[in-house]
Structure 1
């Protein structure tokens, strides 16, 4: 029986753990929160993150990283982007060279501007790394609602191995050789989803959101290509697919945070209300700095940065976007 460990008992990690347990894998979850561990082991439910979904008995939660990982071949990093490096350092003495590291976080390291696969490779240079991304709300994965994602790696054989591991009749997995594009698409869409939520919070309609998503897609492509990604990747699951789901669904914490900000809340108040990490806020700051270094035009990201970090009124930010110099769409 294949064995897999999830580092982090949040919503998406737990949803994937449930899915793989139903497939017959022996699943371990490590988490810092004693209540999450107790609820999984005693009540077979993650009440904090995935309430009302039964967790199979072949899922066990641990407070010890060493016990959770054991001799398992697969380790999933199911933690926010800003703690990926720390977690990699924590597990380095525990894992073997053949352990496959799978990251399901979406973002970049704020301090360095590096993609998460680059961060993992720096800390765990001997281990194969696979990135899993795409339009996949945890709430729906946990309920066996059909979902499609993409996996990528520097060595495609490991992406294909994870494709086989994760595939079910309700969870379809594609491979993609473009690791840069897959990671950047998954990170930048959070910025646009946050902006889409702000538009909803202000009270704007479908026209505004369609414009925001379309022009936001242009920003994803610009920065993605500048960093070495392929344009066709961004029209796929990790670009357009993820953008659609995060800009339109109330499952999206980025959109929900944006709605609160559009109604007048500060970013700090929005994060507190959501109760989970809002990756779009961190991504906006990181990509604003990165696009300045690269000389890439990202006007939506510019305006959102000033709303989040400089106190700009969101409505005036929209006015600025609408009244820029005339341009050709192409």
Structure 2
């Protein structure tokens, strides 16, 4: 059955935009915000100016700072918190989750330390079967979606009926979800594209042009697909919305936090300066480059751009030196 009462845990830009998508599709949506003043503005003024300024939120979308109140009676629960804080947040909410609710993950990353995908973290902490967890991925720049611009996404779940249920719940006049059962591929595409977007931003900040961007996007796609296939993903997933679609949007748009973060570094800012300039919003790729790099190394998968981003963000290696190293790698066949 299509869930009608849906809770969105997290009031950042993508959580708010997805809550609006659900409300515009006719669902009754309750958001949880950590700060009471944010919840009050969403509830009373139908706005979340801190993350989506100028966007009017629909009347069937309300908010609270009380997680128990937010989760009461929910038929689906959308987890819209950063990937590296998902475990801690979900541990706090675990006893409040309705046992039969579909759990929907918006987070895109690989957890540091455990190297788990977000759906794996959710099944572990919430103690639910994998088929109860749905993943949403694709070219999902929050501001464009919140403005009602035509967009599409992938709704992936091992249980196809649950994927269809979330697809129906989110379908509206401007947002078109497609279903998929390849959770691994969709999650890895969403996590890896943030890292490649960092590299494209760095290149732009250094004054490099379209050829460089196209090279990074296509070679980034190749390395994310190598990792996905090694973990059992369908290669076709990376040719779709959760792969190349998300990659192109995130690597090319100034609305992308990861691209913007990389661009600041390319202009000479430190990681700390770029983080401060972002106003506290998380660029997931800065942390995920390390966990994805470690995951790939353990599997013997070559991911040179991901490795370079880890070294740029966490070892302070000069980006021009990294560029020279990437160009100077051993020559080989394109698909080897």
Tell me what 1:226 maps to. 230
SS in 2 for 1:75: strand
Deviation at residue 41 of structure 1 after TM alignment:
2.0
2:31 is equivalent to residue 26 of structure 1: no
Q: How many residues align?
A: 330
Tell me what 2:322 maps to. 317
Q: What is the alpha-carbon distance in structure 1 between the residues aligned to residue 334 and residue 244 of structure 2?
A: 18
2:293 is equivalent to residue 288 of structure 1: yes
SS in 2 for 1:45: coil
SS in 1 for 2:261: helix
Tell me what 1:160 maps to. 164
Please, which moves more after superposition, 304-313 or 85-94?
Answer: 85-94
5+ residue gaps, structure 2, are: none
Deviation at residue 61 of structure 1 after TM alignment:
1.2
Q: 95, 98, 112: which is aligned to 1:96?
A: 98
Deviation at residue 222 of structure 1 after TM alignment:
0.9
RMSD: 1.2
Q: What is the alpha-carbon distance in structure 2 between the residues aligned to residue 154 and residue 91 of structure 1?
A: 23
Q: 243, 262, 265: which is aligned to 2:247?
A: 243
Deviation at residue 24 of structure 1 after TM alignment:
2.2
8 Å contact kept, 2:42–2:63: yes
8 Å contact kept, 2:204–2:266: yes
Displaced runs of 4+ in structure 1, greater than 6 A? none
2:285 is equivalent to residue 264 of structure 1: no
8 Å contact kept, 2:25–2:169: no
Q: What is the alpha-carbon distance in structure 2 between the residues aligned to residue 205 and residue 27 of structure 1?
A: 43
Q: 42, 45, 55: which is aligned to 2:44?
A: 42
Q: What is the alpha-carbon distance in structure 1 between the residues aligned to residue 237 and residue 7 of structure 2?
A: 29
Deviation at residue 247 of structure 1 after TM alignment:
0.5
TM-score computed with the length of structure 2 as normaliser:
0.96
TM-score computed with the length of structure 1 as normaliser:
0.97
SS in 1 for 2:31: strand
2:124 is equivalent to residue 119 of structure 1: no
Q: What is the alpha-carbon distance in structure 2 between the residues aligned to residue 92 and residue 231 of structure 1?
A: 34
8 Å contact kept, 2:111–2:291: yes
Deviation at residue 85 of structure 1 after TM alignment:
1.5
Tell me what 1:87 maps to. 89
Q: What is the alpha-carbon distance in structure 1 between the residues aligned to residue 91 and residue 307 of structure 2?
A: 34
5+ residue gaps, structure 1, are: none
